Structure 1
Amino acid sequence: MASFLVAALYKFVHLPDFQALQAPLLACCETHEVKGTLLLAEEGINGTIAGTSTGICAVLEFLRDDPRLKTLVHKESWADKMPFYRMKVKLKREIVTMGVPNVQAETMAGTYVSPEDWNALIDDPDVVVVDTRNDYEVSIGTFKRAINPHTASFTEFPEWVKEQSAEGGVLHNKPRLAMFCTGGIRCEKSTAYMRTLGFDEVYHLEGGILKYLETIPSGESRWDGECFVFDERVSVLHGLEQGHYKFCRACRLPLSAADKSSSLFVDGVSCPHCHDKHTDEQKQRFAERQRQVELARKRADRHIGVRVELKKAAKEKAMKQKAEAAAEATTGLA
């Protein structure tokens, strides 16, 4: 039975004091043994965390105690194993990086469309359906009829829009757009961006692909494939069940069964996507890392997570010793 609750969350909201929120939020997560990554910026909060149901509820309650985050919405799924190795709360310029200033997603986002109404919208031949995710995410699953912009990062999306808005492009003279992403955050910002360019009839999937897969039965679905997620589950299916993909430990791209059967796949070292992108020295380092992982697995132990935790403990010990040394030096001068 799955024992770890995974909560994906985001909210565009003005947080001018976001830097001051970092330490207490991290402390709350660590107190309740919650792991994952949360991003804080002046434009809001974004991230995914995992832990016991009690721990996740405590962190969500802590966030919603802030009146600005009272209406924070999250999506839940379950994992058999802890999908993260540690807890990070990062400070960012944007909670999802587009690189375009003054895109006010909080007030300018397009029209929400519920999962229940999504099929009818994207079945309309006059509606251009755009997947706002990166190419490697789209490659393992997307909605039927959806256009793949083939972007390597979200910062490339504005340039794609510029190219495709010109004569002959897929967006030229196409006022009705339906946009989607994993959890809703990228399409919320991208629809706001499209509205600044004069696209007024812009829609986006409320709750993203994850909410659609959670809500819509597979027999009624327009989804084809699996949905990439940014944790150790790698991908999910309808009902948010864990999918069949695994990470390449060298490049972090999702691997199918066919990828893993390729002669270019060496566990932990290379895959068909990255076999020619690393030096021999890097591959030797990856191979040694994989050897240590396999040894740890034979001992029924963890390798990566334990290493992270030990490094963190060592750092904290060093800081404590430094502080004690400084205090002793001050006492000696008195």
Structure 2
Amino acid sequence: MNDFLLRNIRFVLWFLIGLVLIHVIILWPIKSSLSAIYNAVNSIAPIVAIILIYLTFNQQRRQVQEAETQVSIAKKEFIRSGKSDFLNRVDQHFILSLNIHRDNVAAMNFKGQVIGKDFFVEVIKCFNDIFNELYIKQNDEIHRYLKRKLSKNDFIDISYRILFYGIGLEIPIETLDHNFKSYHSFLKPDLEGDGGFGWFIYGFWSNQTAMQSNLSHYFRHLYHTITYIHDLEIDQTEKEFYIKRIRGQFSNHEQALFFINSLSIGANWRKYKSTPESTPIDLISTYELIKNLPGNFFEHINHKCYYKKIKYEEDHGIAFEETPKGKRCHEQLPA
């Protein structure tokens, strides 16, 4: 029998004995009758029985509560064990993906030479050369040729497409039309006329090595890894923990490449949908993939104006949209 119940029974018995003794001591001299004592005990007995019943039910209630607590603890342990196994599998997949990313970066080559992370330095340098030539030096000429103005976003898009796909007379016109869409109307040369503005473009970048073979695999793998983490049924803080580890692998030039790519052919990074019915998610802002990119990284482009919600490292934890410079920005992400 439970110790608690034994203690209560002893208490009730001593209480009963005490009442009997009191009645005996008080009533005996007065009535000198055993029947009086019997009646006194008889009147006390129901009260004692009620107390005993209450104590018994109270003890049973305590036992039920303890059992429910033990069951709850067991359930939590079971869930924790299952979640632990799940997270172990996630960790294994994540570590494998991180190693693949590192291998991809180490294997990056430029003009036939493996240069690893320095590849991204060369890529950004090439982009800046193309963008500055088109947007700064040839802007007016392009406007006159097209008879319409192009936005800065258009020039970013064109420059990145030239960098990514490459351009040259050996590339079929159909392929160029597909790669450059409406822009190709001024990029392709007029073979039967005076050449048009396209001759300049081809002459300037006809030897430009296309970065597609390197960058396609690089972005495809990262996109798969980050969307895999994003779609997991885990807390948002846990998702951010994993993706922060991925971002920690990026150099400034890689983050700059993320930014440029997202304004061009990589729009899915800012329009990701887990299902066709779900609301689009901006992965770059949500996980601050370009958090460490300095504000003066580009000469003529302020990436912070496009991703204002990010708390950039140099802004000391304040979202750029809350800073004085951020409030004066008017650039917008492409549709």
Q: Flag whether TM exceeds 0.5 (same fold).
A: no
- Larger of the two Rg values belongs to structure: 2
Could you say which structure has the greater relative contact order, defined with CA pairs below 8 angstroms and 6 or more residues apart? 1
Using the size of structure 2 for normalisation, the TM-score is: 0.23
TM-score when normalising by structure 1: 0.23
